[in-house]
A and B are shown apart, each in its own frame.
Chain A
Amino acid sequence: MKSLTVRGWVTLGVLVALALLPVFVSVTGREFFLVLATRLVILAIAAVSLNLILGYGRMISFGHAAYLGIGAYAVGIPAYYEIYNGFIQIGIAIGVSVAFAFLTGLVCLRTRGVNFIMITMAFSMMVFFAFVSIEEYGGDDGLVIEVRSEFGRWLNLENDTVLYYVCFVSLLGVLYLIRRIVHSRFGMVIQGARGNEGRMQSLGFDTFRYRLVCYVIAGALCGYAGALLGNFTSFISPEMMDWTRSGELIFMVVLGGTSSLFGPVLGAGLFILLEEILSGFWLYWQLIFGIFLILVVLFAKGGIDSWLGRNPER
């Protein structure tokens, strides 16, 4: 058997800990940890999906939280009309995310650099303001989801442990999918275009199409994470797609380490834990958080992944 590196052990350790967490909760009775871990796992899915475009494709999207919102409202709005069928809701979440990513991607991907960052941000704020101004679905005040998605008798999401395992298995599935994508011919083209787009084009690849498909996949996965988030929080509001939320997602990815499969999961984990611990003992915890963020950018290039011994410039 191949011996594991430090990174390998940490990855394995985190996954085993997440898998066994409900057992720990049922023994100690501390429901709180289950809530925390569910949030962590859902945001980890979002971060992993963002990493597909941000890390592997170097498309710095500052509007990824829009998909969390779209996914959540795809659960909330049908539930508002008493449609609780989970297959329909998740279908809407992914379908609308794909459509939104495709349409905005057609415009965004024509631009580069700073323009790309700001346009993705602007489109996400467009969705934000659209939901703020639709009074029917609560506008600013948001929407309460009273019944979680229904998947028939064999999968009852109303049980918090079941919801957690659905999220956890989803995370594993998304990680596997991203791994397959990254190592496929498609993934190689995306990564090649990150390094030198002109060269990929002269090799005959229509990089715009590849990037667009990649952008749509990332949006669809994050829309799915949003549907899970809607089920989990049971209260959704436009605030969850505010551009600062997108900033937090980018932070998770960079904190964990870009263009590594598991890095964003570690980043999301550290982010959630820090947020939880700091907010517990100081009202103005965001000050420390902000300074920490600046310090990570200035001094800790490569994120957690490189602390664990991975060369960021692979």
Chain B
Amino acid sequence: MDWTLLTVQLLNGLQLGILLFLLASGLTLIFGIMDFVNLAHGSLYMVGAFFCATLTQWLDSFWLGLLLALPATAVVGILVELVVVRHLYERDHLDHVLATFGLILVFDTLTQMIWGPDGQVIPLPAWLDGQVSLGGAIEVPTYRVAIILTGLAVAFGLFILVTRTRLGMQIRAGASNRKMVSALGVNIGLLFSIVFVIGAVLAGLAGMMIAPITEASIGMGNQIIIVAFVVIVIGGIGSIKGAFIAAILVGLIDTMGRSYLDALFKMFMSAQNAETSAPAVSAMLIYILMAVILAVRPSGLFGPRGH
């Protein structure tokens, strides 16, 4: 067994899980509280990445770029909420889906108009660009470790926000009974806006962190958003804890499946069959996981019962 490869793959899986959590936590909060389906969440992920790329190129500093791109993404989030999303809370899911699908077209095209069809590269500072030793001969890229640590810190901060602050209390109350919260005098409209913007910033942060590895490209959010949906369905809609556990689970299973499934298949079928079937099965793995979990618990691992 190649331990270096295994460690690197575990870290990759963890990194994917962390990014998925950043996306899924915003989605699940928005669902939980506003019952709003936001397909355009992936667009904010893309917008964050492009903002960060341009600011990094202008200012010649990844840190400044990242720091300034966060409020810039928040502004986009506020605009989206104000212009489109706010008018849809009272509508049904079908309208949410369609309008935010329209938003995706708008965002993808605007990005193409502003930045052109090519991807944007984000250069990393030298000290993040190297390898870090994890004891013995095992070396892993520093930046991936940085992503994981940042993500864990954000997850911890979000956890504190939701469980230990007044805003968090309102968010949790809003998720379990919207009407009651607003009857108790909480400005539910403002609460919605705040949650939407928090979600937007988290999605933007995920985009900014992945962009130095994959570069910022048009439509980059449209694939990962589906996986984020799978995460919140598995975790249970509205549950931050569920989103975290499901995100790490999905990240690890997806990455491990892609690297080790063919070896596993070769144990009980011919090498040729394993090589043709393993990629297809590993691509389907997280969906199979989702189907199995839903078959047992239709509202996800930590979802509200009978919701």
Contact = CB atoms under 8 A, between A and B. Distances in A.
Interface centre among A122, A132, A243, A284 (most CB of B within 10 A): A122
A40 B101 CA distance: 21
A136 B273 CA distance: 12
A287 interface: yes
A107 B298 CA distance: 8
A111 B298 contact: yes
Nearest to B36: A114
A115 interface: yes
Contacts of B291: 104, 107, 123
Given A114-B237, A284-B109, A290-B104, A62 B97 contact: yes
A254 B98 CA distance: 9
Interface string B75-116: 000000000100110010111011101111110111011000
Interface stretch (B14-22, B136-144, B277-285): B277-285
Interface residues of A, number: 44
Contacts of A247: 39, 97-98, 101
Contact residues of B: prevailing secondary structure = helix
Interface string B255-293: 000000000000000000000100110111001101100
A125 B287 CA distance: 9
A84 to B, nearest CB: 24
Contact of B294 (A54, A117, A119, A297): A119
A227 to B, nearest CB: 22
Interface of B: 31, 35, 37, 39, 84, 87-88, 91, 93-95, 97-99, 101-106, 108-110, 112-113, 222, 226, 229-230, 232-233, 237, 276, 279-280, 282-284, 287-288, 290-291, 294-295, 298-300
Interface of A: 54, 60, 62, 104, 107, 110-111, 113-115, 117-119, 121-123, 125-126, 129-130, 132-136, 243-244, 247, 250-251, 254, 258, 284, 286-287, 289-294, 296-298
A286 B108 contact: yes
Interface centre among A107, A113, A250, A297 (most CB of B within 10 A): A297
A141 to B, nearest CB: 15
B242 to A, nearest CB: 13
Contacts of A104: 291
A283 B297 CA distance: 47
B99 to A, nearest CB: 4
A178 to B, nearest CB: 19
A297 B298 CA distance: 30
Contacts of B110: 287
